[in-house]
Amino acid sequence: MKKIATVIIGAGQAGLAMSKHLADRSVEHVLLERGEVANSWRTERWDSLKLLTPNWQSRLPGYAYEGNNPDGYMDMKQVISFLDKYSERIAAPVECQTNVHSVKQADKGYLVSTNQGEWQCEKLVLANGACNIASVPKFAADLPSDIESITPLQYRNPDQLPDGGVLVVGASATGLQLAMEIQASGRQVTICVGEHVRVPRVYRGRDIKWWMDVAGVLDMDYHEVDDINRARRVPSLQLAGSDNRDDMDLNAVDDIGVRKVGRLAGIRDGKAMFSGSLANVCALADLKMNRLLNTLDEWATENDMDRKVASPHRFESTRIDEKSPLGMDLAAEGIKSVIWATGFRPDYSWLDVPVFDRKGRIRHDGGVAEVPGLYVMGLPFLRRRKSSLIDGVGDDAKILSDHLYSALYSKAA
């Protein structure tokens, strides 16, 4: 058994950012990585995916994008190379191909068992990703067995799907992007639309992420939020990283012939049932988008930016087909596959520590878990709205490494 002050589980952007901060404080640590650096980006993403954030926003402690296309969006190869280089540059002590089998509290710290032996540590940082498991509703089990059921973690490209109609469940970034490329492959897509967050890719000539960055929206602290539990559950922004910076919203998929229906409410006798709430979820998203744009316009005026960017404007409301069906006989409509773009959650199945709430989430205060010596990173709105972004893990790692460092050395005094 090896002993070390701190174990970080996961060598993605969050683990690496923490490693950098711990190294700067000379805290002895190791990163245990089930595969290689940036493993989820390597193995659990579809082929066409690009980052939703522009290149200039890929910023990590002591490191940033250095290419000549700051306004572009990295594809997965580029993300992997970006993180590989960071790992090399900071000489992160990564133990690759190390699968964590279990974590137990032991000897005022943690005992981490892996396929490469055991580690005893005082502090443990969980940086294993927010999207390890596709959240699929229970009624997915009611799908007729001759219809293929696929999660976005399994999906790579449309060629993998059977010919015929496709039901995409969920209309956040993942659902819309997949709906778009599957429809373009010649398969009729029907998309089930529940609550979603609509934003334009470009507003007043600037990337929406630029606006959210400069206006402080992404920096919003979890203490300032009215209801942090709700903020942590907000679906991903409807965005795609494409060269032409097109909007990725319900009108865009409507333009190429994707059919919109309400949230999937259940499947019974081969029939999908859709909620009649489609008009309201679209109205909610349009109103919320306009509130964000109002905030950005106010910021522009207060900060003398009005003359440096294009004029304010508003976007077409989400078009609603009042005849959108409330049910669909899947066989009769030729649906051959269903994609569950219904969100993701982290995998803590190996974490044998009493720190979970009744929904299986880790109880934590801004990343400091409710058991001593345990930290969590990279989750939505962990400390700030940007916490789940590459650009957000640096600030979180700084604060959490401060906490970890003080906890390690204060008791010795």
Partner 1 sequence: MTGTNTENTADNGVNVEALIGAREALTEAPEAAQFKWRTSSKWMNGTHSKTTINSFFGLGEEQSRGKEFSVETDHPEVFAAEDNAPTPVEVVLAGLAGCLAAGVAAVAQHRGVQLRSVEATIEGDMDIQGILGIDDEVRNGFGDIRVQFDIDADASEDDIKAIVAQSQKRSAVFDLVTNPTNVFVNVN
User: Among residues 16, 292, 328, 341, which is the contact residue for partner 1, using CB under 8 A?
Assistant: 292
Is 321 near partner 1 (CB under 8 A)?
A: no
Find out whether 194 and 175 touch, Cβ atoms under 8 Å: no
Relative to beta strand 327-329, strand 133-134 is unpaired
How far is residue 330's CA from residue 268's CA, in Å, rounded to a whole number?
10
Q: Is 333 in the site for partner 1 (CB under 8 A)?
A: no
The least CB distance from residue 361 to partner 1, in Å, is 12
Enumerate residues 187-206 that contact partner 1 by CB under 8 A: 195
Rounded-to-integer distance, Cα 92 and Cα 90, Å: 5
Say whether residue 266 binds partner 1 (CB under 8 A).
Answer: yes
φ, ψ for residue 171, nearest 5 deg: -130, 35
Q: Which is nearer to partner 1, 307 or 358 (CB)?
A: 358
Structure tokens at 134: 């596709």
SS3 86: helix
Q: Please, which residue, 226 or 304, has the CB nearer to partner 1?
A: 226
- The residue range among 61-69, 185-193, 285-293, 400-408 that interacts with partner 1, by the rule CB under 8 A, is 285-293
Contacting residue, 4, 202, 283, 407, with partner 1 by CB under 8 A? 283
Indicate the residue among 106 and 287 with the shorter CB distance to partner 1.
287
Subset of 126-155 contacting partner 1 (CB under 8 A): none
Among 22, 199, 265, 369, interactor with partner 1 by CB under 8 A = 265
Q: Which residue has the tokens 């590989």?
A: 84
3-state SS assignment for residue 33? coil
DSSP symbol at 356: B
For partner 1, which is the closer residue by CB, 293 or 393?
Answer: 293
Q: Say if CB 191 and CB 176 are below 8 A apart.
A: yes
Question: Hey, which bits of 66-114 come out as E strands?
Answer: 94-95, 100-106, 109-114
Residue 262 makes contact with partner 1 by CB under 8 A: yes
Output 23 or 273, the one with its CB closest to partner 1: 273
Q: What Cα–Cα distance (Å) separates residue 212 from each residue in 31, 197, 297?
A: 32, 14, 11
34-63 positions binding partner 1, by CB under 8 A: none
Overall residue count recorded for the chain in this entry:
413
Give the separation between CA 265 and CA 44, rounded to whole angstroms. Answer: 27
Pairing of strands 351-352, 344-345: unpaired
Report the nearest approach of partner 1 to the CB of residue 209 (Å): 16
Q: How far is the CB of 287 from partner 1 (least distance, A)?
A: 5
Nearer to partner 1, 92 or 192 (CB): 192
Q: Which residues, in sequence order, are bridge partners of residue 280?
A: none
Instruction: Say how far apart CA 53 and CA 64 lie, in whole Å.
Output: 13
Per-residue contact flags (x/-) with partner 1 for residues 340 to 369, judged by CB under 8 A: ------------------x-----------
Site for partner 1, residues 217 to 256, rule: CB under 8 A? 217, 224-226, 229, 231
Binder to partner 1 among 4, 96, 202, 284 (CB under 8 A)? Answer: 284
DSSP 261: E
Is 165 an interacting residue with respect to partner 1 (CB under 8 A)? Answer: no
| Residues at the contact surface with partner 1, assessed by CB under 8 A | 195, 217, 224-226, 229, 231, 262, 265-266, 268, 273, 275-277, 280-281, 283-284, 287-288, 290-292, 295, 322, 358
